[in-house]
Amino acid sequence: SQQGEEDPQALSIQEGENATMNCSYKTSINNLQWYRQNSGRGLVHLILIRSNEREKHSGRLRVTLDTSKKSSSLLITASRAADTASYFCATDIYLNIQGAQKLVFGQGTRLTINP
Amino acid sequence: DGGITQSPKYLFRKEGQNVTLSCEQNLNHDAMYWYRQDPGQGLRLIYYSQIVNDFQKGDIAEGYSVSREKKESFPLTVTSAQKNPTAFYLCASTTQGRGTDTQYFGPGTRLTVL
């Protein structure tokens, strides 16, 4: 079963508007990460938020985390055409006692910025 | 340039053939991962390796095999036992494979079965 699920599955907005994507997860986490994927390419890490943090900023990105609701949101302000991509949240699950980590990805939100 | 490289970018396989996807990193990372991505889906973990000469099955290891003879290299073989191999394959690495590590991804290999 999916650990992280993004909402909406697709989002289309005009350039300059803000884009908000949400992620819900099922089990307790240590960290939550957001990644971006351009079509047919690898994923690029955007931001990591720890379970004891509530909000984090990086440039035009703002991530919030609500562990009581098991949800996170990614806000992209003043969107640009170059922001068009799929965005994935990923939560970490420990694989073994040595601390190996697995990231469990949601299905992603496809964001389209219209010029 | 530091990073992760995957080759080839596109790969075509006939039914019954084994194929090997290459993944190389020069980031001096200990941990490496292989993921499979199907259209409109997230990533699913195939295999991971935390250290040289050691690797573990992920969620969908059946029909796949790996080796980790060198720190920089983590090749994935898609065997004929994998019944539905057409997908986008992504390799990633992290410093140690800990929970706070960022995963760095290669550009991916798109495998198509003819």
Confidence of residue B95 (pLDDT cuts 50, 70, 90): confident
pLDDT for the residue numbered A21: 96
Q: What angle do CA B81, B87, B93 make, to 5 degrees?
A: 95
pLDDT for the residue numbered A106: 87
From the list B40, B58, B105, the residue facing A42 with the nearest CB is: B105
pLDDT for the residue numbered A27: 85
Hey, is B18 helix, strand or coil?
coil
pLDDT for the residue numbered A92: 85
Contact check, Cβ <8 Å, B43/A105:
yes
* Strand positions, DSSP E, chain B: 4-7, 10-13, 19-25, 31-37, 43-51, 54-57, 64-66, 76-78, 87-94, 104-105, 109-113
Query: How many CB pairs lie under 8 A apart between chains A and B?
Result: 74
pLDDT in tens, B4-59: 999 999 999 888 899 999 999 999 999 999 999 998 888 999 999 999 999 999 99
Residue B39: cis peptide before it, omega within 30 degrees of 0: no
Residue appearing with tokens 């065997």: B79
Q: How far apart are CA A51 and CA A88, in angstroms?
A: 18
* Residue B1, pLDDT above cutoff 60: no
pLDDT for the residue numbered B42: 86
| A102 in Cβ contact with A93 (< 8 Å) | yes
Å between B46 CA and nearest CA of chain A: 11
pLDDT for the residue numbered A1: 41
Å between B3 CA and nearest CA of chain A: 12
pLDDT for the residue numbered A3: 61
- Assigned token pair, A80: 């640009």
From the list A31, A42, A107, the residue facing B100 with the nearest CB is: A31
What share of chain A in percent tops pLDDT 90?
A: 70
| Chain B interface test: which of A35, A52, A96, A102 (most B C-beta within 10 Å) | A102
Span A90-113, average pLDDT: 84
pLDDT in tens, A26-69: 888 888 999 999 998 999 999 999 999 999 999 999 999 999 99
Q: For residue A46, which of A37, A36, A55, A54 has the smallest C-alpha distance?
A: A36
* Residue A2, pLDDT above cutoff 70: no
Span A14-22, average pLDDT: 97
Interface residue ranges in chain A relative to chain B, Cβ cutoff 8 Å: 2, 4, 30-31, 33, 35, 40-45, 48, 50, 88, 90, 92, 94-96, 98-103, 105-108
Å between A13 CA and nearest CA of chain B: 20
Contact check, Cβ <8 Å, B42/A43:
no
Q: How far apart are CA A91 and CA B5, in angstroms?
A: 25
* Residue B99, pLDDT above cutoff 70: no
Q: Which chain B residues contact residue A30 at CB under 8 A?
A: 99-100
Could you give the dihedral angle defined by the CA atoms of residues B92, B20, B88 and B60, in that order, rounded to the nearest 10 degrees? -80
* Residue B2, pLDDT above cutoff 70: no
